C-alpha cells in the first residue's frame, strides 16, 4: 500500500496526461507500456528483492553487495530529497488553490492569476523576486505534515496510507464521472487517445516513456528498497511489484480521462479548438483546469475543492516517501533516532524549497525537474543494473525473490537486468545528452543549466562519496 502511495502522485495526474498528449497521444501508450514491462516491472522487482534481502536502508544494502558500493545507496537516497524540495512546493500551490476554490479566486483569467498574481513570476531565473507569502505558508503546512507522519516510524506510515491511497482514487473517479458527462468530453478524450504513429520513430518519444516510468514508479530513488526492507520475511515480492506497477499505470491512464474530458468541455463551451490551448505541465493543473472549473454549470466550488484535495492526498504519500530513504540511511549508519533524523531533514528541506517560493521558483523548478528526472534517474537506474547485475551474482537475487513469490522469475530476468535494460538506458542517455548539448533545455543560458541542472546532479554524486567515507557508528567503536 505504501509503495503504491509513493508511486501514485502528482506525476500521474499532471505529468502523464501532458506527456502522453505531447508524444503522440494514443500512440504513446505503446512505448509507455513497453517501458513499463521491459524496465519498470523488472527493476521494481529488483529493488523490492534487494530491500527484502538486505533488510536495511539503501546505503547498507549496497554495502552488503560490496563494501565499495555504499555510495550508490547514498546517491539513490539523496536524489529524492532534491525532488522533494520542489515537489512540496507544487503541493503548496495545490494547498492555496484548494482554498481559492472556495470563491473561485482566479476569476476570468486563470493564466494571469496563476503566473502574475499568485507566483509573481519573474522574466528569467536570474531575477529571484520576492518570497510569496501564501506559498511559504503552504510549504510550512506540508513540511509539518511530512514530519508528523514520519517521525514515529513505519507504523504510522501504514495508518496514513490506508487513507491517502484510497481517498484520492475515489475523488478521481468522481471527477472522471463528472468530466465524462459534460458536453464536449468526447472531443477531449479523442484528442488524448487518437494515435499519431509517426511519432513512434522519434527517439525522444521513447526517452519520454522511460523517463515517465522511472519518475512515476519512484524507481532508482531508494524508496522501493527502503519500503521492501520493512516487508515481512514471507511476503510475496514479484506479485507486490506487479500490483504496484499496474496500480500506478492504471491511475495515470484514468487521470488522462479526468483531465482531458474537462478540457474538451472547456474548448466546446468557449468555442475554440483544443490545439489553441497552451497545455503545459503546470499550466494544465493550475490554469486550464481552474478555467474549466469556473465554467461548470453547478457545484463549481465543490469540484474545484475535491480536485485539489485529490492532488494533495495523492501527493503527500509520495512526498514523505522521498524523505524516508535518507532518514533510514542516517538511522542505519549513525544510529540517529528517527525523530531527530526526520526533524533535521524536514528543516533542511523547508529551507531548500524556499527558492521555489520566490518569483523565479517556477523557472528553477522546471530546470531542476528536467535534469533530475531525465539524467539523474536514468543514470542511477543504469548504475543499479550494472552494480547488481555484474558486481554481484544476480541469480542469487532471483532465487531470493522466487523463494517467496508465486510468479517465478526465469533466466530472462537476469538477461533484462544485465543486458537489455542497461543497453536501452545507455542509448537513451547518449541521445538525451547530445540533444541537450545541441539545444540547451528551455532555451536557458548555459550557466543557468550548469547551476540548476549539472551542479545538483554532480554535487549529489560527490556528496554520496563523502557520506560513504565518514565513519558510521558501529564502525567507529
Q: Could you tell me the CA-to-CA distances from 84 to 91, 192, 285, 448 in Å, in that order? A: 10, 29, 19, 21
| 3-class DSSP state of 358 | strand
Segment interacting with ligand TRP, rule: CB under 6 A, options 17-25, 32-40, 164-172, 316-324:
316-324
Segment interacting with ligand TRP, rule: CB under 6 A, options 2-10, 46-54, 405-413, 466-474:
2-10
The 3 state secondary structure assigned to 99-115 is HHHHHCCCCCCHHHHHH
Which position among 1, 2, 4, 9 is part of the footprint of ligand TRP (CB under 6 A)? 9
Question: How many CA atoms does the CB half-sphere of 15 hold within 13 Å?
Answer: 25
Rounded to whole angstroms, the Cα distance separating 85 from 83 reads 5
Which position among 1, 4, 5, 6 is part of the footprint of ligand TRP (CB under 6 A)? 6
DSSP state of 11: I
Segment interacting with ligand TRP, rule: CB under 6 A, options 234-242, 318-326, 349-357, 388-396:
318-326
User: Which residues between 187 and 246 bind ligand TRP (CB under 6 A)?
Assistant: 215-216, 218, 221, 223
Q: Which is nearer to ligand TRP, 23 or 251 (CB)?
A: 251
Q: Rounded to the nearest whole angstrom, what is the least distance from the CB of residue 407 to ligand TRP in the complex?
A: 23
Q: Is position 76 an interface residue for ligand TRP (rule: CB under 6 A)? A: no
Q: Which is nearer to ligand TRP, 296 or 323 (CB)?
A: 323
Segment interacting with ligand TRP, rule: CB under 6 A, options 61-69, 305-313, 314-322, 388-396:
314-322
DSSP state of 119: T
Q: Which is nearer to ligand TRP, 89 or 216 (CB)?
A: 216
Q: Rounded to the nearest whole angstrom, what is the least distance from the CB of residue 183 to ligand TRP in the complex?
A: 31
Rounded to whole angstroms, the Cα distance separating 215 from 221 reads 9
Segment interacting with ligand TRP, rule: CB under 6 A, options 3-11, 28-36, 178-186, 398-406:
3-11
Q: Is position 285 an interface residue for ligand TRP (rule: CB under 6 A)? A: no
Q: Which is nearer to ligand TRP, 12 or 57 (CB)?
A: 12
Q: Quick check: 2 and 321 in contact, CB under 8 A?
A: yes
Q: Is position 80 an interface residue for ligand TRP (rule: CB under 6 A)? A: yes
DSSP state of 356: G
Rounded to whole angstroms, the Cα distance separating 261 from 195 reads 17
Q: Which is nearer to ligand TRP, 10 or 468 (CB)?
A: 10
Q: Quick check: 464 and 62 in contact, CB under 8 A?
A: no
> In terms of Cα–Cα distance, which of 78, 149, 8, 65 is closest to 397?
65
DSSP state of 130: P
Instruction: Quickly tell me which residue has 488522462 as its cell.
Output: 256
Alpha-carbon dihedral angle through residues 415, 419, 423, 424, given to the nearest 10 degrees = 10
Q: Is position 176 an interface residue for ligand TRP (rule: CB under 6 A)? A: no
Q: Quick check: 164 and 317 in contact, CB under 8 A?
A: yes
Q: Rounded to the nearest whole angstrom, what is the least distance from the CB of residue 212 to ligand TRP in the complex?
A: 9
Q: Which is nearer to ligand TRP, 218 or 229 (CB)?
A: 218
Cell of 313: 492526498
Q: Which is nearer to ligand TRP, 370 or 398 (CB)?
A: 370
Cell of 389: 547485475
Rounded to whole angstroms, the Cα distance separating 296 from 381 reads 44
Q: Quick check: 16 and 255 in contact, CB under 8 A?
A: yes
Q: Is position 12 an interface residue for ligand TRP (rule: CB under 6 A)? A: yes
Q: What Rg value do the Cα atoms of the chain yield, rounded? A: 22
Q: Quick check: 217 and 13 in contact, CB under 8 A?
A: no
Q: Which is nearer to ligand TRP, 218 or 258 (CB)?
A: 218
Q: Which is nearer to ligand TRP, 221 or 291 (CB)?
A: 221
DSSP state of 313: H
Q: Which is nearer to ligand TRP, 15 or 52 (CB)?
A: 15
Q: Rounded to the nearest whole angstrom, what is the least distance from the CB of residue 318 to ligand TRP in the complex?
A: 4
Q: Which is nearer to ligand TRP, 341 or 394 (CB)?
A: 341
Rounded to whole angstroms, the Cα distance separating 226 from 224 reads 5
Which position among 2, 3, 4, 7 is part of the footprint of ligand TRP (CB under 6 A)? 7
How many chain residues touch ligand TRP (CB under 6 A)?
16
Which position among 321, 327, 405, 464 is part of the footprint of ligand TRP (CB under 6 A)? 321
Phi/psi at 455 (5° precision):
-65, -45
User: Which residues bind to ligand TRP, rule: CB under 6 A?
Assistant: 6-7, 9-12, 80, 83, 215-216, 218, 221, 223, 318, 321-322
Amino acid at each position: 500500500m505504501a509503495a503504491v502511495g509513493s508511486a501514485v502522485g502528482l506525476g500521474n495526474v499532471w505529468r502523464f496526461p501532458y506527456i502522453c498528449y505531447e508524444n503522440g497521444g494514443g500512440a504513446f501508450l505503446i512505448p509507455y507500456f513497453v517501458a513499463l514491462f521491459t524496465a519498470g516491472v523488472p527493476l521494481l522487482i529488483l529493488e523490492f528483492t534487494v530491500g527484502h534481502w538486505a533488510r536495511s536502508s539503501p546505503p547498507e544494502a549496497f554495502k552488503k553487495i560490496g563494501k565499495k558500493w555504499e555510495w550508490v545507496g547514498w546517491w539513490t537516497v539523496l536524489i529524492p530529497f532534491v525532488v522533494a524540495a520542489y515537489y512540496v512546493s507544487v503541493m503548496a500551490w495545490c494547498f492555496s488553490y484548494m482554498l481559492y476554490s472556495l470563491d473561485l479566486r482566479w476569476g476570468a483569467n486563470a493564466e494571469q492569476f496563476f503566473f502574475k498574481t499568485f507566483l509573481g513570476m519573474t522574466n528569467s531565473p536570474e531575477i529571484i523576486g520576492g518570497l510569496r507569502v501564501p506559498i511559504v505558508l503552504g510549504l510550512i503546512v506540508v513540511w509539518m505534515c511530512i514530519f508528523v507522519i514520519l517521525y514515529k516510524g513505519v507504523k504510522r506510515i501504514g495508518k496514513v496510507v490506508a487513507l491517502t491511497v484510497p481517498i484520492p482514487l475515489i475523488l478521481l473517479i468522481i471527477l472522471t464521472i463528472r468530466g465524462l458527462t459534460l458536453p464536449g468530453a468526447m472531443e477531449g478524450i479523442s484528442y488524448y487517445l487518437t494515435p499519431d504513429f509517426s511519432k513512434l520513430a522519434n527517439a525522444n518519444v521513447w526517452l519520454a516513456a522511460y523517463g515517465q516510468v522511472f519518475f512515476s514508479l519512484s524507481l532508482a530513488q531508494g524508496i522501493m528498497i527502503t519500503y521492501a526492507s520493512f516487508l515481512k520475511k514471507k511476503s510475496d515480492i514479484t506479485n507486490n511489484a506487479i500490483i504496484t506497477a499496474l496500480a500506478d499505470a492504471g491511475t495515470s491512464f484514468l487521470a488522462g480521462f479526468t483531465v482531458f474530458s474537462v478540457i474538451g468541455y472547456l474548448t466546446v463551451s468557449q468555442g475554440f479548438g483544443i490545439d489553441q490551448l497552451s497545455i503545459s505541465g503546470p499550466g494544465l493543473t493550475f490554469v486550464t483546469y481552474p478555467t474549466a472549473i469556473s465554467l461548470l454549470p453547478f457545484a463549481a466550488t465543490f469540484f474545484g475543492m475535491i480536485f485539489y484535495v485529490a492532488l494533495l492526498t495523492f501527493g503527500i504519500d509520495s512526498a514523505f516517501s522521498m524523505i524516508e530513504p535518507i532518514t533510514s540511511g542516517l538511522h542505519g549508519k549513525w544510529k540517529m533516532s528517527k525523530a531527530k533524523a526526520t526533524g533535521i531533514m524536514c528543516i533542511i528541506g523547508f529551507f531548500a524549497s524556499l527558492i521555489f517560493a520566490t518569483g523565479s521558483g517556477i523557472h528553477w523548478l522546471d530546470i531542476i525537474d528536467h535534469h533530475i528526472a531525465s539524467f539523474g534517474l536514468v543514470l542511477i537506474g543504469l548504475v543499479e543494473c550494472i552494480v547488481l547485475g555484474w558486481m554481484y551474482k544476480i541469480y542469487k537475487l532471483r532465487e531470493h525473490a522466487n523463494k517467496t513469490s508465486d510468479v517465478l522469475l526465469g533466466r530472462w530476468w537476469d538477461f533484462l537486468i544485465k543486458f537489455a535494460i542497461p543497453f536501452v538506458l545507455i542509448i537513451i542517455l547518449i541521445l538525451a545528452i547530445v540533444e541537450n548539448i545541441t539545444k540547451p533545455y528551455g532555451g536557458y543560458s548555459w550557466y543557468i543549466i550548469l547551476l540548476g541542472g549539472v551542479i545538483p546532479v554532480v554535487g549529489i554524486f560527490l556528496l554520496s562519496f563523502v557520506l560513504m567515507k565518514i565513519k558510521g557508528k558501529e564502525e567507529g567503536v
